[in-house]
């Protein structure tokens, strides 16, 4: 049975900046919190990538309602808050993964009763993408339970073909296939890939408590390859994972 689920993500939409600068300074806000200061800065100057840990800690420790209020302000500045993008995620190769992510039933290290499957064939994948489009999705995401795609030339070429075909259907395409080499990221970009999902899972310090079969820095390397290839990065983490996994 196909594993398909839909995800809703906000659509990018730039609003007129001045209206938000005005609301950021309204009497209901708390201008002294780090959340308020950083929200005003983000609306004025756009996103930044040079955060220091103390700056992040200050935002994190802002009063909760300040975080919600100013977070919503920045969100509404960057996106049309009344619109979402519907994406459909399909597991094109399920189970039997050689990694040992403690939270994942697809790891071959754990007895979860999940049977490893081969890569889905082209007809089945394209049929799922067609159904997703008919149901209103504008992005189709394909996930494979692999550590990486090195040594999987045939499978990787099949996926490149799936990416091209689905782009040809007028949809955006996202993949999550494990770690990538620089050349593979370039090939995915050439095939038309819109975004690559690769989660950071947890902090570098805590990483070995969650996963022992790869390092945090290997994870970052793939993200670097993806970014340099010009593909959008889709990445998250597990904030405050349980102390015992
Ligand atoms: S790499 Fe992905 S599929 Fe493999 S065990 Fe980790 S989360 Fe599961």
Measured from the CB, is residue 97 less than 6 Å from ligand 1? yes
| Strand order across the 79-93 sheet | 4-12, 79-93, 139-144, 172-176, 195-197, 232-234
Closest ligand 1 atom to residue 97 Cα is: 4
- Cα–Cα distance for residue pair 170/190, rounded to 1 Å: 16
pLDDT digits (tens, 9 = 90+) for 168-177: 999 999 999 9
CATH 3.20.20.70 fits 94-234, yes or no: yes
Residue-level pLDDT at 237: 75
The tokens for 6 are 């839909």
178, 213, 216, 235, best to mutate for ligand 1 pocket (most atoms within 8 Å of CB) = 178
pTM, two decimal places: 0.80
Measured from the CB, is residue 210 less than 6 Å from ligand 1? no
Q: Whose CA is nearest to atom 2 of ligand 1?
A: 145
Residue-level pLDDT at 223: 96
Residue-level pLDDT at 10: 56
pLDDT digits (tens, 9 = 90+) for 11-34: 555 444 434 444 444 445 445 899
Residue-level pLDDT at 1: 40
Closest ligand 1 atom to residue 106 Cα is: 8
pLDDT digits (tens, 9 = 90+) for 96-131: 999 999 989 999 999 898 989 999 999 999 999 999
Reply yes or no on whether the pLDDT at 51 is more than 60: yes
Cβ contact 151:100 at 8 Å: no
Q: Whose CA is nearest to atom 6 of ligand 1?
A: 101
Q: Which pairs count as long-range contacts for 226-230, CB under 8 Å and 24+ apart, including other chains?
A: 226/180, 226/185, 226/196, 226/198, 228/182, 228/185, 229/182, 229/185, 229/186, 229/188, 229/189, 230/189
Kindly state the average pLDDT of the residues 201-208: 89
Q: What's the gap in Å between 98 CA and the centre of ligand 1?
A: 8
Q: Residue 16 in 3-state DSSP?
A: coil
Residue-level pLDDT at 11: 58
Higher pLDDT, 192 or 12: 192
Q: Residue 97 in 3-state DSSP?
A: strand
- Cα–Cα distance for residue pair 8/234, rounded to 1 Å: 14
Q: Whose CA is nearest to atom 3 of ligand 1?
A: 145
- Between vectors from CA 105 to CA 103 and to CA 107, what angle results, nearest 5°? 90
Domain locations in the chain as residue ranges: 12-80, 94-234
Measured from the CB, is residue 187 less than 6 Å from ligand 1? no
């Amino acid at each position: 049975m196909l594993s398909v689920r839909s995800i809703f993500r906000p659509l990018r939409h730039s609003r007129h900046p001045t209206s938000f600068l005005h609301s950021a300074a309204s009497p209901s806000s708390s201008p002294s919190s780090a959340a308020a200061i950083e929200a005003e800065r983000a609306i004025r100057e756009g996103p930044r990538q040079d955060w220091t840990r103390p700056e992040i800690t200050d935002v994190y420790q802002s009063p909760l309602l300040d975080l919600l209020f100013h977070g919503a302000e920045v969100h509404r500045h960057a996106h049309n808050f009344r619109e979402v993008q519907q994406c459909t995620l399909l597991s094109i190769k399920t189970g039997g993964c050689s990694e040992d992510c403690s939270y994942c039933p697809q790891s071959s290290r754990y007895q979860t009763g999940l049977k490893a499957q081969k890569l889905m064939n082209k007809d089945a994948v394209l049929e799922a993408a067609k159904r997703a489009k008919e149901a209103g999705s504008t992005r189709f995401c394909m996930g494979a339970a692999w550590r990486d795609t090195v040594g999987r030339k045939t499978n990787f070429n099949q996926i490149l073909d799936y990416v091209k075909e689905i782009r040809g259907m007028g949809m955006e395409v996202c993949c999550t296939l494990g770690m990538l080499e620089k050349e593979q990221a370039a090939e995915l970009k050439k095939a038309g890939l819109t975004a690559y999902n690769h989660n950071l899972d947890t902090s570098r310090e805590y990483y070995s408590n969650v996963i022992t079969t790869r390092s945090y820095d290997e994870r970052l390397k793939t993200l670097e390859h993806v970014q340099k290839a010009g593909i959008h990065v889709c990445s998250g983490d597990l904030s405050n994972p349980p102390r015992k996994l």
